[in-house]
Amino acid sequence: MTCQGIDLLSTKAAGDDHGENSSYFDGWKAYDTNPFDLRHNRGGVIQMGLAENQLSLDLIEEWSKNHPDASICTPEGVSQFKRIANFQDYHGLPEFRKAMAQFMGQVRGGKATFDPDRVVMSGGATGAQETLAFCLANPGEAFLVPTPYYPAFDRDCCWRSGIKLLPIECHSFNDFRLTKEALVSAYDGARRQGISVKGILITNPSNPLGTITDRDTLAMLATFATEHRVHLVCDEIYAGSVFATPEYVSIAEVIERGVPWCNRDLIHIVYSLSKDFGLPGFRVGIIYSYNDAVVAAARRMSSFGLVSSQTQYFLSRMLSDEEFIGRFLQESKRRLAARHERFTSGLREVGIGCLRGNAGLFSWMDLRRMLREKTAEAELELWRVIVHQVKLNVSPGTSFHCREPGWFRVCHANMDDETMEVALGRIHDFVRQHQQRRVKAERWAANRQLRLSLPHHHHLNPAHLSSPLALLSPQSPMVRATS
């Protein structure tokens, strides 16, 4: 576009603050230009940067075939065509809101109840987060977010609303757990800078860590929010993807049973069917707020991102089938657990560890020992090698605002078993090559040190002089990144 063309646009349209100039999205672009395919392009880039759940879609497909009346585009369901096709109420179909509230309770093991009248629709969790940002804060005001956090929050929450996200620094020495000390430090630091803190945003289960927030921490957050009159937004988009102990705890359960005296007007939940159900294309996001004014305002805003009435109708029928949902959730957790174990055990075979996780569609992989040095630049250097040479689109920790270089999020639920084995094979080959280079480098360094320490009158073995290790500098222990 010419400069003249740019001048015709708004500042927002012409600007570059959307957030796509990030290594998180750059990896996706590398995949898009050369996507892996088992049959047609086995040398392509494998997508391991997309948190998508494809492990249980066959169960939904089977339900759809067995319930043709759930669609208004079949002979069995066409009698509802006119009603659904003409539905325009941005409150949403009553049966959809009722089914969604029921489903949210079922996902949380019946330990919390949800009121259909507080369910507000949105175009995916992306739209839900932005709507809450508009409802809860003014431009320039801030939300505190524990690190590492989902990179697209910078887009979802900030791009159009103008609010800020400020980090609550968490660390690997305690498995990146959020502490009250870190929260208070971030809050006080923002206040010293003259920034108005309007809320706290967490993901539970965590993206990218794959861990859950425990009951005591949630109670601490609800208490802090009440005492400081700030909002608490809990993104629970992976609530149904907890596949191992400890059990998941929702903020809804905590405020009902743990700290019932907290100010519920400050508590808000974001949910979606994109992850637990593997239906991101349906664009079903949910805002659930305990604040009447927020529900009213968010519902008015939802007219900018409604879920199609056809989608609502189909989902209301499926989510109301409690027996099917119970089987689906159980089988989905079983498959997620099996995939997580296979992938992490495959990494352990070559000495690669991950943060111990029990939720989500990914693992937080520890490659700190493979860094040339402990810097963000070295992490990105390693990442470029993995993307362009190993051809795996993994996401570097720096893109998640992690301050400790060497952590990577690796998604492993968005592919079939055979593709995952190909990915593990590539990781194995890369790590072993790296280890071989490191051994050669260490031998060369030790040999050189030995020669330097020998007396000047010492006669060197001619065979030793002809050794490549004695005469040649080794290759770098890190494969050089391509530009």
| pLDDT tens track for 355-372 | 999 999 999 999 999 999
Answer whether residue 129 is part of any domain: yes
Domain co-membership, 120 together with 168: yes
pLDDT tens for 402-454 read 999 999 999 999 999 999 999 999 999 999 998 887 777 667 666 766 666 66
Contacts 24+ apart (CB under 8 A), 421-426: 422/36, 422/38, 422/42, 422/46, 423/46, 423/48, 423/392, 424/343, 424/346, 424/347, 426/46, 426/390, 426/391, 426/392
Which of these ranges, 132-141, 193-202, 255-264, has the smallest mean pLDDT? 255-264
Which of 320, 349, 364 terminates a domain? The answer is 320
Report pLDDT for 10. Answer: 82
Which of these ranges, 96-105, 119-128, 359-368, 429-438, has the smallest mean pLDDT? 429-438
Report pLDDT for 20. Answer: 67
Q: Is the pLDDT of residue 1 over 50?
A: no
Q: Is the pLDDT of residue 183 over 90?
A: yes
Cβ-contact 149, 395 below 8 angstroms: no
Name the band, by pLDDT with cuts 50, 70 and 90, for residue 471.
very low
**Element of type H or E holding 323:** helix 322-348
Domain co-membership, 216 together with 351: no
Number of domains forming the structure of the chain: 2
88, 210, 244, 327, 425 from 341: Cα distances, Å: 45, 13, 11, 21, 16
pLDDT tens for 386-397 read 999 999 999 999
- Its sign, for the CA torsion 429, 433, 438, 440, is positive
Evaluate if pTM is beyond 0.85. Answer: yes
pLDDT tens for 54-78 read 999 999 999 999 999 988 888 888 8
Domain co-membership, 144 together with 284: yes
Report pLDDT for 438. Answer: 72
Report pLDDT for 27. Answer: 78
Cα distance between residue 365 and residue 354, in whole Å:
4
Answer whether residue 457 is part of any domain: no
Domain co-membership, 255 together with 202: yes
Beta carbons within 8 Å of 33's beta carbon, 6+ residues apart: 45
Domain co-membership, 426 together with 280: no
Report pLDDT for 483. Answer: 34
Which of 256, 288, 320 terminates a domain? The answer is 320
Cβ-contact 78, 72 below 8 angstroms: yes
Q: Is the pLDDT of residue 159 over 50?
A: yes
In the chain, pLDDT over 70 holds for what percent of residues? 89
Name the CA dihedral angle for 380, 381, 384, 389, rounded to a multiple of 10 degrees: -150
Report pLDDT for 377. Answer: 96
Answer whether residue 12 is part of any domain: no
Cβ-contact 45, 393 below 8 angstroms: yes
Which of 297, 320, 343 terminates a domain? The answer is 320
Report pLDDT for 467. Answer: 34
Domain co-membership, 364 together with 298: no
Identify which has the larger pLDDT, 481 or 257: 257
Report pLDDT for 9. Answer: 87
Answer whether residue 107 is part of any domain: yes
Report pLDDT for 413. Answer: 97
Domain co-membership, 31 together with 148: no
Identify which has the larger pLDDT, 44 or 24: 44
Domain co-membership, 304 together with 338: no
59, 124, 231, 291, 402 from 67: Cα distances, Å: 12, 25, 42, 37, 46
Report pLDDT for 8. Answer: 85
Answer whether residue 180 is part of any domain: yes
Answer whether residue 315 is part of any domain: yes
Q: Is the pLDDT of residue 152 over 70?
A: yes
Average pLDDT rounded to a whole number, residues 199-226: 97
Report pLDDT for 465. Answer: 33
Answer whether residue 145 is part of any domain: yes
Bridge partners, residue 200, by sequence: 144, 232
Residue 167: give its domain's CATH number.
3.40.640.10
Answer whether residue 111 is part of any domain: yes
Q: Which two tokens stand for residue 391?
A: 């051809």
Beta carbons within 8 Å of 157's beta carbon, 6+ residues apart: 129, 130, 133, 143, 163, 165, 201
Domain co-membership, 330 together with 428: yes
Domain co-membership, 285 together with 152: yes
Domain co-membership, 48 together with 187: no
Cβ-contact 412, 360 below 8 angstroms: no
Domain co-membership, 43 together with 141: no
Catalytic residues: 150, 235, 237, 275
Residue 35's domain spans which residues? 23-57+326-434
Residue 377: give its domain's CATH number.
3.90.1150.10
